[in-house]
Structures are given as C-alpha cells and as structure tokens.
Structure 1
Amino acid sequence: MNTAPDNSNESLADQAIDWLVLMRSGSVTDAARHQFEAWYGQDDANRQAYAEAEALWGSVAQAVKTTPPANFQPKQIHAVPRLPRRAGLAMAASLVLGLLIGRDRLHDWLLSDYATAVGEQKQIQLADGSRVLLNTDTALDIDWSADKRRVVLLRGQAEFKVTSDANRPFEVVAGDTAVRALGTVFDVARPAADKVEVNVTEHAVAVRLTDQADVAAIQVEEGQRLTYSNGGGLDKPAPANLNQLNAWKRGKLIFHDQALADVVAELNRYSKAKIILNGEDVKQLRVSGVFPTDGLAMLDALQKSLALRQTALGPWLVILHS
C-alpha cells in the first residue's frame, strides 16, 4: 500500500523530497498522484522546491531509470565449491570482522546509559527536560550533578534540544572535544573514532578541546558546522547545508555529487554488514540522490544504479566491485 506524505509539519524542501521519493517509488496510487498534482500546482514555490529536489536526486536517480546491461548479474557468493579452502578463509575472516565490530559496540553499550542498535533511532528526555534524538548505532553516557549537565557521546550521532538552566551548563563531550550549549539545538556526530562533527540548527555552541581548558572556545553559530580530526586543531566554523545534514532526522540521506567512498562511509553507519569498495575507480564514482536510512535498500539502489557487482562474504562483509 502506498500513501501520500503528511506535509503538515515539514518545510517546503522536505515536502518536495517526500513527494519525489514517493513519485519515484514505482507504486503510486491514483489518490496519491492526485494529491501530488494538487500540491505541485498550488504555487510556483512548490514547483521550484520540487525542481531543486529533482536536482538533488541527480545522476543516481537518472541511472535507476535505466535497465542494467543484459549481461549484468550481481553476484551473491557465500562459498566457492571449487575453492573450499579460500571460501573457508573468507568466511573465517568475515566472522573475525563481525566479532571485532561487535566487541567495539558492546564496549560502548556497557558504558552507556542510552544506546541504539544499527538502523534504529530513539527519542529520549533527560531529567532536566532536555530532549535527545539518537541516530543509528549511538551510545550516550550521562554524567549529571548539582552543578553540571554532561553527556558523553561514546559513538554515533545525536541531536540535542537543550532546556535552559543558568546554574548548570550543558556540555557534550565527544572524543577530544567538548561542546557547550548556549541555549540551542545542535547535533554532534562521531563518524569515526578519530573524527567529530558539530552542526548548529538554532542559536550557537562553544567548542573547545578537552585538554586545552585555558584556550578560548570557538563559537559556532546557527547554520554553521565545525569538524575536528585527532592530531589537528579545531577547524574554523563553515556554512552548513542543514537540509542535507538534518535529513537523517526525517529518515533520509541526501548526497550531492559526492564520491561513492564517502557515501559508503555514511551507509556503513546504517548497515549491519561492513561494506567495502574494491578499486579506486569504483571509490571515485559520483553519487547524487535521496535515499532512505535503510542500509539494505540503499545498498541495493547503489548497486543497481551504478551497475556494480556485489560479493557477500558471510553476514558481516559485503564487497562492491565493477
């Protein structure tokens, strides 16, 4: 069954993306199509927003319309009868990888007060009334006291909507960084163990390195983002495309002319299996599009649209190659 989007609480850009995803789904009911036509014909702003959404859909959406070559047969390889030893080694390597990934997650979950599984999102409310939206594969540790509100982001990504309390500052610690709320809505992400990203949706935050308490914090304003990698200083705040960066909160991922290597790095956060790209030419393929935050659905769309082959080694490892 296919239903029209509920646009009542979404921006015009979000509405356009929702309609685009539905209209490209291939299973649009007559009722939904009539609703779309009414929305599209309502005014020029709607039509402009839809055109911009189509531009985001870009090259991948265009490729999806094209039937793959007749000789293209994606591979699903779990064992190779003629090479049992190599197949066994591959399966063993996959199992070891799965255990290593599971060990890291288990360690963070044991230290956390709140956590989400891969592919899960969860909304929580803290004791002070602040709200936190946890993205996929996220773990938080809460350190509350009479004079401070401190949250440790052990892994993953979370959005914070902070309740004001002049006597207790609200701070999020992620790796080597500390992000202090200045009455705000912001999110903090750890896309890798050695990397931190801060995006500000409302008001501002102050960011510092935890081992440099005597150095002035960098203020990041609404509509800006800041990134940090271990071994370097804090980058200067830069303008952020919040519609793209906040898409995960609406169950979507948006990419605009990005390398497949970067797209897969993001996809790996939503996929239970580790996805690896084989070949520099494959890694540099360009991707634009709007995808659901569903690891399997997105992997399938990328594979088909870019005419790639897929080799699965057990449940923990998938290789995309030409």
Structure 2
Amino acid sequence: MKDKIKDKAIHWVACKKEGLTFEQEKEFEIWLKEDEEHQKAFEEANLVYSIFQNIPKNHTQTLSKNALKEAKKIKFIEKTVKPFIEMVAILCGLFIGYKFFIPEYEKDYKTQFSSLKQEILPDGSKLSIDTKSNLQIEYFKDKRKVFLENGQVLFEVAKDKSRPFIISSGKTSIEVVGTKFEVKNLEHITTVSVEEGVVKVSFNNHTLLPNQDISLLKKGEKIVISDLGKITYLGKTDIEEIAPWRNDELIFRKITLKEAFDTFSRYQDLKVEFQNKNFENKLFSGKFNTLEIDKFLFAIQKIYPIKIVKSENKITVN
C-alpha cells in the first residue's frame, strides 16, 4: 500500500513539473486530501526533486543515468505517460537512494575560550575537542563526515567498515574505519597525528576533481600540510605529543616563540606584542601546563637576551 502511495506521489510531482491541466489539478487536490499519508509522500517526493535540482550539473547527468537504469525496473513506470517517463524514472531512482544525501544525525560543536569538551557520538566514537574549536558532524547511511573549520580534535573512531569516517580540514581529507588520531586545523595548516590504527590522508585542490591520495599514516606518524597542498612534514612523531592538551599540557618541540605564545593564547586571555620582531622566530622546546605562562616567560628569558613586561593580560617582548 505504501509503495502505491509513493508511486502516485512521484507521478504527481512529475506531472506538476510538466504542468497540470484543469482536470488534473482537481484530481490531484482530491488525492492529496484523501489521506494524510498522501500529503507526506508528496512532500517527500518533492524534497527528492529539490535535492536533485541543487546538485551540480556535472553530477546530475551521471546520477540521472544511474537512477533511470535502476528505476526502469519498477513496474508502474511502464504505465506512465511517455512525456513524463524519464522524469518519473529519475525521481523513482532518486527516491530509492535520496536518504544517502540526508544526514541521519547532525550536530555542530563550538568550544569557547578555555573550554575543553568530551563527546560520545551515536556510533560510540569519542571526541576530545580542544578550546576554540569549531566542527560539524553529519552521519549518513554510507559514511560519517566531520568538517573541522578550525581548532584541534582527538578522534577515537568506532569501527564500522560499511561507513568510513571522513574528516575535512581545509582542503585536506582524512579517512578511517576505526582508529585514534588527532587533527589540527590552525592558520590554514592541517596536522594529522596517529595514536592508533591507520589513517588515509588525501588532498583536494578542486571540489569537482577526485581527492589526491597523499599518505597512509600508521601509529606514531604525522603529516603537516597547508591548504595549498604543501607538505612541510611527513614522518615519525612521539605518541606523548599527540593531543597533550587533553591533559592540560603543552609540549613544544623546536617551535617559534610566536607559535608558543599563540598556543598559550588558546587557553588564556593574552595579548602579546613583539617590539623586536627578530625574537618572533626564535626556536624553543619545553613542556608546560596550559596555565603556566609565568613559568614559560621565566624559561625563555633564561635562554634568550630578551626582556618581558607583563601587565595583567598584556605581554610585551623586547
């Protein structure tokens, strides 16, 4: 019974797109008011058509061919009036598969200053979200997708071979089935560090072209790649240095003083001014609590001939 209602709804959507006669309009109104299920089926079929209309043309051609091929197996299409048969066939095919375009689950996360967040997703995957991070999650029937706009997240992905877990960070794509890894998206640079399992990293400089596979990262490996596709590091990393912020720690390994101050500024309300720009690129290594800015200031003054003036949340380096 439900299939017949669905078929009729598809028929009416196709007819309305082609234009109804006065008699057809009356017949449609009667059918629509007969049952609440008719209204629901028509709205769903209309939604499918709207989705199809919003897909880029280069994709709709392929989708139309596939949908037409599948839909012609459906018996009621044989009885459809010839001028409408292609549209009805496409709608039927899309109706069968449109739920692959509609998220089963979606949620946005945005952490504020000095705020860490732990989340468990519907499939059991776990997220540790660092302060000042912004991401969107969408689960579909055939895949799980995350869009990391900025920030740092540690992912512990539940295994599901039928639905790969895909993260988009800038123009970098990270795909896994089940593993544990950190993704950073800071200043248009994506860093992927693997704590457990294997992660596939790819890059896409053009939305209409396939992703270009870059590397398969294993446990204890890291890649750093810019939104322009430039790889600045690909190699080993210390497991201890993966997402230390989850334990309120910061580990610096030969980073610039500017980068170190920027990192502290994620966890404290700091305004830093380098009066002598030469010191911005001086390198530093060390391990600190996220709130140990005074300890950090003491350490860098012991290493470099610099003077630091701190007044409330403002730090001047000269």
TM-score (normalizing by structure 1): 0.58
Which position in structure 1 is the counterpart of 2:217? 220
Q: SS of the residue aligned with 1:218?
A: strand
CA 1:274–1:191: 2 relative to 1, 3 Å: farther
- The one of 134, 139, 151 equivalent to 2:134 is 139
Q: SS of the residue aligned with 2:295?
A: helix
Trace 1:124-203 onto structure 2 (pairs within 5 A): 124-192=119-187, 194-203=188-197
CA 1:179–1:320: 2 relative to 1, 3 Å: same
1:270 matches 2:281: no
Which position in structure 2 is the counterpart of 1:280? 277
TM-aligned CA deviation for residue 283 of structure 1: 2.2
Which position in structure 1 is the counterpart of 2:249? 252
1:131 maps to amino acid:
K
Trace 1:203-214 onto structure 2 (pairs within 5 A): 203-210=197-204, 211=206, 212-213=209-210
CA 1:236–1:320: 2 relative to 1, 3 Å: closer
- The one of 110, 114, 118 equivalent to 1:115 is 110
Question: Is the CA contact (8 Å cut-off) linking 2:203 and 2:213 kept in structure 1?
Answer: no
What is the alpha-carbon distance in structure 2 between the residues aligned to residue 121 and residue 137 of structure 1?
A: 9
Q: SS of the residue aligned with 1:128?
A: coil
**1:171-217 CA deviation, whole Å, 9 max, x = no partner?**
1111111100142101100121x111000011111111233525335
CA 1:304–1:217: 2 relative to 1, 3 Å: closer
CA 1:285–1:302: 2 relative to 1, 3 Å: farther
Structure 2: which 5+ residue stretches go unaligned? Answer: 1-105
**1:65-119 CA deviation, whole Å, 9 max, x = no partner?**
xxxxxxxxxxxxxxxxxxxxxxxxxxxxxxxxxxxxxxxxxxxxxx971121122
**1:278-311 CA deviation, whole Å, 9 max, x = no partner?**
21343244433221112xx31x223344163236
CA 1:281–1:236: 2 relative to 1, 3 Å: closer
1:310 maps to amino acid:
V
Q: SS of the residue aligned with 2:213?
A: coil
Which deviates the most, 202-211 or 276-285? 276-285
Which position in structure 2 is the counterpart of 1:289? 286
What is the alpha-carbon distance in structure 1 between the residues aligned to residue 194 and residue 210 of structure 2?
A: 22
What is the number of equivalent residue pairs in this alignment?
Answer: 205
Say which structure, 1 or 2, has more relative contact order (CA 8 Å, 6+ apart): 1
Question: Is the CA contact (8 Å cut-off) linking 1:171 and 1:180 kept in structure 2?
Answer: yes
**1:213-238 CA deviation, whole Å, 9 max, x = no partner?**
25335211111001111223445631
Q: SS of the residue aligned with 2:185?
A: strand
1:320 maps to amino acid:
T
1:119 maps to amino acid:
S
1:130 maps to amino acid:
S
CA 1:282–1:176: 2 relative to 1, 3 Å: same
TM-aligned CA deviation for residue 248 of structure 1: 1.6
CA 1:278–1:237: 2 relative to 1, 3 Å: same
**Higher share of residues assigned helix:** 2
Question: Is the CA contact (8 Å cut-off) linking 2:310 and 2:316 kept in structure 1?
Answer: yes
TM-aligned CA deviation for residue 250 of structure 1: 1.5
Q: SS of the residue aligned with 2:142?
A: coil
Which position in structure 2 is the counterpart of 1:49? none
What is the alpha-carbon distance in structure 2 between the residues aligned to residue 155 and residue 120 of structure 1?
A: 15
Which position in structure 2 is the counterpart of 1:302? 296
Which position in structure 2 is the counterpart of 1:241? 238
TM-score (normalizing by structure 2): 0.58
Question: Is the CA contact (8 Å cut-off) linking 1:220 and 1:237 kept in structure 2?
Answer: no
1:261 maps to amino acid:
K
